[in-house]
Amino acid sequence: MHQVLPSIGRTVEPSQSLHPAAAGLPILWRFYRQSLALPITDVILNRGGYLNLVKAKYEIASASFLQKLSRALWGTSPQNTSLDVDSIPSWLKLQTNTIAGINRNLAANAFWKPQANALLGGTITPGQLEDMYQSTVFAYDEPDILTMTNACYSKFKQNYIPTASSQGIIRYIGEDQDNKPPQGSLRNHFMFNNALVLPDRFNPATEVYLMNSKYMYPCFHEADYFTVDPFIKPSNQRVIVSTMYVTLQLINRSPRMGAAGTGAPA
């Protein structure tokens, strides 16, 4: 790999653009762009003002770009077409689709399937997720990300919060806790075994996902990693425009290291 990024994503050089697991199949790169426009009249009226219009426009465009990429990773409309990246549900929920050039519907390609979907039946308990978790554990190789909707996260979190009828299992490791106000809930994200539990607004409703970031991660093309065009002025228009770009694909080197659960609380 050319560079390991602060997130779980990585960039690769064009000469290294081979899918790590699909036996020489090239990465099917997907291209995304986000445009921004700035009326020159706004620039004129803001001269000497306190607002940096260029910075504000780029922040707005970056936020829109982030939403577009998030929808693509989760296969949410309108970023769920054949021109979009292979989504997380396509990798971990579907069992008979063709992905990365390999047809999972063929018996010979069973190695390319994720673990069977966990059927949660409208509830989400530690016992249910433990079965799902252990299905993806091989020796000391365990999943490290567990995602769900915010509503489902709230219900799952209640398993670990003390109530009038249950003491819960929150553990305090410092004596200074006695000198602070009682903690009625988990302050930050918490771990389920080795997996960080994350609520995600783009996570499909009634579904939970276990992932292993050593095998599944976004892969970015080195030559088009969030590049930005300089502002230009189209002819006969009193506006300046710019565009930001990124080329990426969601890689999964071993789908059996992940799993999806369906029927989670909405």
What pLDDT is stored for residue 189 in this prediction? 80
User: How would DSSP label each residue in the chain?
Assistant: --EE-SSS-EEE-GGG-B-TTTTTPBP--EEEEEEEEEEHHHHHHTTT-S--HHHHHHHHHHHHHHHHHHHHHHT-TTS-STTSPPPHHHHHT-SSSEETTEETTSGGGGGG--PPPEE-TT---HHHHHHHHHTT-BTTB---EEEE-HHHHHHHHGGGS--SS---------GGGGGS----S--S--EETTEEEEE-TTSPTTEEEEE-TTTEEEEEEGGGSSEEPPPB--TT-SEEEEEEEEEEEEEES-GGG-EEEES---
pLDDT tens digits, residue range 235-252? Answer: 889 999 999 999 999 999
What pLDDT is stored for residue 184 in this prediction? 62
pLDDT tens digits, residue range 141-176? Answer: 999 999 999 999 999 988 887 665 555 555 555 666
What pLDDT is stored for residue 54 in this prediction? 87
Total domain count for the chain? 1
CATH of the domain at 123: 3.90.1690
What pLDDT is stored for residue 7 in this prediction? 42
Domain-embedded: residue 94: yes
What pLDDT is stored for residue 16 in this prediction? 46
pLDDT band at 266 (very low <50, low <70, confident <90, very high): confident
Domain-embedded: residue 174: no
Domain-embedded: residue 175: no
Domain-embedded: residue 89: yes
What pLDDT is stored for residue 2 in this prediction? 35
- Structural domain harbouring 150: 3-169+182-262
What pLDDT is stored for residue 45 in this prediction? 87
Domain-embedded: residue 176: no
Domain-embedded: residue 33: yes
Domain-embedded: residue 156: yes
Distances (CA, A) of 143 to 58, 115, 218, 254: 35, 12, 16, 12
Task: Look up the pTM and report it.
Answer: 0.83
Domain-embedded: residue 138: yes
What pLDDT is stored for residue 180 in this prediction? 66
Per-residue pLDDT averaged across 199-226, rounded? 96
Phi and psi angles of residue 16, each rounded to the nearest 5 degrees, phi first = -105, 15
